Amino acid sequence: MTAPRPRFGRNDSPDRLYTVTNGRSRSNAVDTFDLVTLIVGECDPAPGMQSEHATILRLCERPTAVVEIAAHLQLPVSITRILLCDLLDTGRISARHPRTARAAD
């Protein structure tokens, strides 16, 4: 029998996730980001910046969807949204919502 493959975000220790978010489980602007919101970095990573924040900025040199960022970081989307809120609050990223399709006449 083979062992089951680990799933992203399922094997993270709760202590690690608590540390990554500084103990927060929700952010004020968490509704700002849905799975397909495109994130664009507005600056380069700064020395001393949290490693996850720096990784997001490097990853988002071009528009990148929230779900892609979460997959790259191997973190749950809820944790990724908190990290994105930190960067949005400091002006280090901008968020673009994809255009909705127009209904045909």
Contacts (Cβ under 8 Å, ≥6 apart) of 20: 50, 52, 75, 79, 83
Q: Which CATH number is associated with domain 28-96?
A: 1.10.10
pLDDT digits (tens, 9 = 90+) for 57-87: 999 999 999 999 999 999 989 889 999 999 9
Question: What pLDDT is recorded for position 8?
Answer: 46
Question: What pLDDT is recorded for position 13?
Answer: 59
Burial of 83 (0-12, 13-18, 19+ CB in 10 A): buried
Question: What pLDDT is recorded for position 72?
Answer: 96
Q: Which two tokens stand for residue 60?
A: 């988002």
Instruction: Give me the helix-helix angle, 66-73 and 51-59, nearest 10°.
Output: 130
